[in-house]
């Protein structure tokens, strides 16, 4: 089973690409942000606990994140999926160490870490037009990637997608998550996020084909 990690700031297109790949390549998509927002939506204890942290743009504690990953990773190996995409996880060195141990226990190998490279300016630009389909978390953009008409009644904006929160999240990303670029330097593949959605999707598909063929 292939393991991909999607790393990059808000608005870099990780979710958009994951949503294509999971169907195209039969991959499981695990987004810690989506899982946490589902907890908030269902008003669970965990949801109530993390709500204010998420809305402030800070990171949720490593313990909480690892628990949620463990809960969702069980059964992955026995599923019919060809691989898994971790989207927005790990976000700290501590999380990366824990993921390493977890993969050892499950006998999984890291295939690639895709680094979605985007400037702060462009991050703000993109997030300000972002819309989410509340039924399935599909991600759209008012101008560059409009939602289909039938999805329009279900589109929502995230509370942490305001320009000041995006700036804060970008700084958190630089301080806490960017050190993972060194940590994963031997598995790293940089994506230039200024390319079109299709061009990036093809680039990732070619990459996945190349390592699936070599196995």
User: Rounded distance, CA 52 to CA 55, Å?
Assistant: 5
Smallest distance from ligand AMP to CB 212, Å: 26
Question: Does the footprint of ligand AMP cover residue 36 (CB under 6 A)?
Answer: yes
Question: Does the footprint of ligand AMP cover residue 19 (CB under 6 A)?
Answer: no
Q: What CA–CA distances, in Å, run from 196 to 14, 70, 83, 135, 144?
A: 13, 34, 24, 25, 9
Smallest distance from ligand AMP to CB 161, Å: 9
Q: In the range 96-115, which residues lie near ligand AMP by CB under 6 A?
A: none
Q: In the range 65-84, which residues lie near ligand AMP by CB under 6 A?
A: 65
Smallest distance from ligand AMP to CB 152, Å: 22
Choose among 213, 189, 5: nearest CA to 96: 5
188-192 and 109-117 strand pairing: parallel
Q: What CA–CA distances, in Å, run from 171 to 16, 110, 128, 177, 184?
A: 22, 27, 17, 10, 20
Smallest distance from ligand AMP to CB 148, Å: 22
Nearest residue to ligand AMP by CB is 33
Question: Does the footprint of ligand AMP cover residue 54 (CB under 6 A)?
Answer: yes
Smallest distance from ligand AMP to CB 98, Å: 11
Q: How many residues bind ligand AMP (CB under 6 A)?
A: 17
3 DSSP β-pair partners:
84, 110
x/- binding map, residues 145-184, to ligand AMP, per CB under 6 A? ---------------x--------x---------------
Q: Where does this chain touch ligand AMP (CB under 6 A) — which range of 40-48, 58-66, 96-104, 129-137? A: 58-66
Smallest distance from ligand AMP to CB 39, Å: 10
110 DSSP β-pair partners:
3
Chain centroid to Cα 11, Å, comes to 10
| DSSP line for 30-98 | EEHHHHHHHHHHTT-HHHHHHHHHHHHTPPPPHHHHHHHHHHHHTTSTTSS-SEEEEES---SHHHHHH
- Can you give the binding site for ligand AMP, defined by CB under 6 A? 10, 32-33, 36, 53-54, 57-60, 65, 88-89, 91, 95, 160, 169
């Amino acid at each position: 089973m292939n393991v991909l990690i999607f790393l990059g700031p808000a608005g870099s297109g990780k979710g958009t690409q994951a949503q294509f790949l999971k169907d195209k390549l039969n991959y499981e998509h695990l987004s810690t942000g989506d899982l946490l927002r589902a907890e908030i939506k269902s008003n669970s204890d965990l949801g109530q606990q993390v709500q204010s942290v998420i809305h402030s743009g800070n990171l949720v504690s490593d313990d909480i994140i690892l628990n949620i990953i463990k809960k969702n990773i069980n059964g992955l190996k026995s599923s019919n999926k060809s691989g898994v995409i971790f989207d927005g996880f790990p976000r700290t060195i501590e999380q990366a160490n824990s993921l390493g141990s977890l993969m050892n226990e499950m006998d999984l190998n890291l295939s690639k870490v895709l680094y979605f490279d985007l400037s702060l300016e462009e991050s703000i630009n993109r997030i300000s037009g972002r819309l989410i389909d509340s039924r399935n978390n599909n991600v759209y953009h008012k101008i560059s990637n409009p939602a289909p008409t039938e999805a329009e009644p279900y589109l929502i904006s995230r509370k942490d997608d305001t320009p000041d929160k995006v700036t804060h999240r970008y700084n958190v990303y630089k301080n806490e998550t960017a050190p993972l670029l060194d940590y994963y330097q031997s598995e790293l593949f940089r994506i230039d996020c200024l390319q079109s959605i299709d061009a990036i999707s093809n680039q990732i598909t070619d990459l996945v084909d190349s390592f699936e063929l070599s196995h």
